[in-house]
A = this chain, B = another copy of it.
């Protein structure tokens, strides 16, 4: 046992971190958990975000650079036993590094300033893995902001944080607006608001060919199982569907979002 290593899951610091697996505690503390060396690296690069770092001796020997960088940045580093890490981590095979981070979300008005050309909205997305994958894809496709509406999953959910593969720290994320409040704000910034939904009359290819995708765009993605509610479909500027050429009934939400976002990236850069 390394000196100063915490070996009890009943240690107050460990208990405080463990509670962050629950949304109610995350909201109260405005802190969340991010596991693994990649997440720790990203959190370190986002000034003031890394609040506390838990590490096992084994992880410290593998990722000494990260642990030292955290210490240099004045971040409290807590050495814990493998058993304590297993209790803290939300993965089956914990990587031995766990960051307690400050919330990263920003107010809507900040995320839309200066006027963006590509925004991603998650409305009614409930699966945290899907939400994190869309966040990662939006980052890759060059989106300037990602908005989680009040009807979507919590972006600080552990599965969402993992699936985002660091992108949660990369671009402005907005949490919690109602769609009815969001829509006029997006339009005020000159964004055409497009919903991606299998019910769309216009295909993505038609939207590209018509020049629609070359405009500054906010894409709205809906629920994995049932898409978007009528009131959203009726209120946006257009509803676009990714064409299905084979016998699949639909696309997975995150793959449909990838096809839409990259179509916008290409159209905006070509235009």
| A interface, CB within 8 angstroms of B | 133, 136-143, 163, 165-167, 170-171, 205, 208, 242-252, 254-259, 262-263, 265-266, 269
- Say yes or no: A137 contacts B251, CB within 8 Å: yes
- Say yes or no: B262 contacts A242, CB within 8 Å: yes
Selected from B170, B249, B256, B259, the residue in CB contact (under 8 A) with A246 is B170
Number of copies: 2
Q: Which residues of B contact A263 (CB under 8 A)?
A: 262
Nearest 7 pairs of A and B residues by beta carbon: A142-B245, A255-B258, A140-B248, A170-B247, A139-B248, A139-B246, A259-B262
Return 8 A-B CB contacts under 8 Å, by A number.
A136-B252, A137-B255, A139-B246, A140-B246, A143-B246, A165-B248, A165-B252, A251-B258
Among residues of B, the one whose C-beta sits closest to the C-beta of A259 is B262
Q: Which residues of B contact A242 (CB under 8 A)?
A: 140, 262
Among residues of B, the one whose C-beta sits closest to the C-beta of A251 is B140
Among residues of B, the one whose C-beta sits closest to the C-beta of A246 is B139
Nearest Cβ on chain B to A164's Cβ, whole angstroms: 9
Q: Which residues of B contact A256 (CB under 8 A)?
A: 258
Counting chain B CB atoms within 10 Å of each CB, the highest count among A242, A245, A248 belongs to: A248
Among residues of B, the one whose C-beta sits closest to the C-beta of A143 is B246
